[in-house]
Structure 1
């Protein structure tokens, strides 16, 4: 009861921000744009076993991957968000058919830590909106599979199993893995048991302890000894250097620790989420869309990463609802709205250029992978952020009435 009262008080505070600050984002208009773009994609996809991932420079249509790609869950997730927004049975049927294609992933021996991205974004959103018992069964199986990658001596879930031999990384954990903990928290509340909750909390605690610098920027990868649990080395695999702040990695951390606080109500995670958010916000360029790495040597000519901005905007909207200090809450809320405003501008929206929602994301710069192109996870977190803002506006309207 105390937790519910606390969150109600903080949410009412955030709702006041909506009334005190004129909205610069036409949420309805941008969501309608997402509907229009998604319909273009639906018309182009050859079949439900292919999933949009990115659009190459000069092309209008998506390049596709199969169900085992770590990004496969984002497109079904987008379709579920479109169903949430429109209530249109058409999107529900499309979401169900693409989600169902991923079923076997949950029952395969765990080959990747990204089961949360793949299955919680798809089946999780589907279950949230429909309460389909089949979706619940798949999610519980997926959580059990993800848990097999947990090493209790280290205190984290193994990332990139393929890298163990390839890179001689006995037990590696990447910051992205914070995002996959949501699957474990959900499962623990829905029949999966306390063990899954404990794994998620311990992973977050170990990551908080070992994966961050004194200024709260993070390393992409920490490599551990499998038997002692000691840190062997810290690496920024997809960033500019081991001492740089890779933009999307920092956005995963902001989102991940905000989510962990939501699930645990442990204030240490809220404080940490604020710290990792603050260093990100302090170093942003004026338009609030980060360069792919905050320490890229060719700034201001370095590629941007709209995906990091979309992830962060969604995270900050949620984070703002948990902060008691009105000034801090207002800062996070307003920054998120300004990020969405910029992402919705002609500079960053795809519009007539191609079938995506957003331009200018950067996937893996060090290997020149998906540089300055539309990427599906940018679109997913963009529409999620718009829906979160819409929900805040709706609650504000109800209070006024």
Structure 2
């Protein structure tokens, strides 16, 4: 990670709340996060013990969500969400400086590290880079560097020069030949870091090529995004555009828009290519100006869901969007105050109305997320990646409020 930024000086006038109020919200939410994470550390081993592992199958290692019966759902390391809980533990270590969180983070991160060799998934950024990259950023432990580089090599193996993209899913080959999903923008950060760590520019070039192709083919004239673009791997031509996890192919799936916003903000950070900054701002405009955005700025699962306002919300989309907007505010002179104030609204809404009761929900922090509504899967439940991006947004918020770099690394001693 070790990023170099040239953030725009915002000045005290852009602080949307007095420092004491920001501290109060941050400290209260951080205390809740620690309470919930401690509970989760107790709950995961019990859930793993109660879930028998079939012969030849990997054992569960991380929490993902709650089952329809309200039980803790745990997943093995090949699951795309497996890295978020260890990454959340690293964020708690960053926020508090407490050795106990580093110890827990190292333990859970080690369980994900075998995925560095996994060439069957595009999600190695989520699975490996979120926890291992954060661990390396905070500790500079040399053990983590080769893990990051191997994960980048594995991810790079999915690149097709004809399509100019990294392949996403391997399933449903009767329907898709070379599917690429908007979520994949998030995994490019792993490739950028690999170039920084190794000096090998090929990782950087793959990331830029994928970002450019996605920019050309995933977005509609209003800068909303399709979820899936399927390519002909032999010619590179687009075969079809779909929104598999949204209401309809032409609808705007809320988390997909958040992935796009975060992804192009990150790509601008890594390249300083103003095309990416413009794209991020265009996506932000679509999200923030959408007529179906609720007043609390926690979106419905799809901006075009037919049953709005009764449609389920997606707290994960709000958390991802807020984290991206805090960073984007440091790059945009014209819209810095707007982005920061909207991120502030989202975080306050999440903290006030979407958090779990202390000691409840098996240790999850945020409630009311939606995973895959069309598949009737994970609807109005906690999701581990919602917790992760919410904590990341809170950390970025604190950094901006205290006048430090929005992506400031290093464990704080202030709350010890």
Which digits, 9 at most, give the CA deviation of each residue in 1:324-358, with x for residues without a partner? 12xx110100000000000001x311124412111
Counterpart for residue 68 of structure 1:
78
Relative to structure 1, the CA distance from residue 98 to residue 15 in structure 2 (aligned partners, 3 Å threshold; closer, same or farther) is farther
Pairwise CA RMSD: 1.8
Relative to structure 1, the CA distance from residue 201 to residue 372 in structure 2 (aligned partners, 3 Å threshold; closer, same or farther) is same
Q: How many residues align?
A: 384
Which digits, 9 at most, give the CA deviation of each residue in 1:89-128, with x for residues without a partner? 11111100111111211123x0110000000111000000
1:229 correspondence with 2:226: no
Question: Bigger CA drift: 288-297 or 22-31?
Answer: 22-31
Question: What are the equivalent positions in structure 2 for 1:29-178 lying under 5 Å apart?
Answer: 29-46=28-45, 50-57=61-68, 59=70, 62-108=72-118, 110-163=119-172, 165=173, 167-178=174-185
| Alignment TM-score, normalising by the size of structure 2 | 0.89
The Cα of 1:192 is off from its aligned counterpart by 5.4
Question: What are the equivalent positions in structure 2 for 1:8-27 lying under 5 Å apart?
Answer: 8=7, 10=8, 12-13=9-10, 16-18=13-15, 21-22=17-18, 25=22, 26-27=25-26
Which digits, 9 at most, give the CA deviation of each residue in 1:6-36, with x for residues without a partner? 924x1x2265412x64466511211111111
Which digits, 9 at most, give the CA deviation of each residue in 1:131-154, with x for residues without a partner? 111111100000000000000111
Structure 1 gaps, min length 5: none
CA distance in 1, matches of 2:183, 2:312: 21
**Selected match of 1:378 from 377, 383, 386:** 386
1:205 correspondence with 2:212: yes
Counterpart for residue 412 of structure 2:
none
The Cα of 1:162 is off from its aligned counterpart by 2.3
**Equivalent pair of 2:60/2:74 in contact (CA under 8 Å):** no
CA distance in 2, matches of 1:49, 1:230: 39
**Equivalent pair of 1:14/1:321 in contact (CA under 8 Å):** no
The Cα of 1:168 is off from its aligned counterpart by 3.0
CA distance in 2, matches of 1:99, 1:358: 22
Counterpart for residue 53 of structure 2:
none
**Equivalent pair of 2:229/2:240 in contact (CA under 8 Å):** yes
| Alignment TM-score, normalising by the size of structure 1 | 0.92
Which digits, 9 at most, give the CA deviation of each residue in 1:152-185, with x for residues without a partner? 111110001223x2x4311110000000000000
Which digits, 9 at most, give the CA deviation of each residue in 1:200-255, with x for residues without a partner? 00100100000000000000000001111110100000000011000000000000
Secondary structure at the counterpart of residue 344 of structure 1: helix
Question: Bigger CA drift: 38-47 or 238-247?
Answer: 38-47
Secondary structure at the counterpart of residue 219 of structure 1: coil
CA distance in 1, matches of 2:357, 2:274: 41
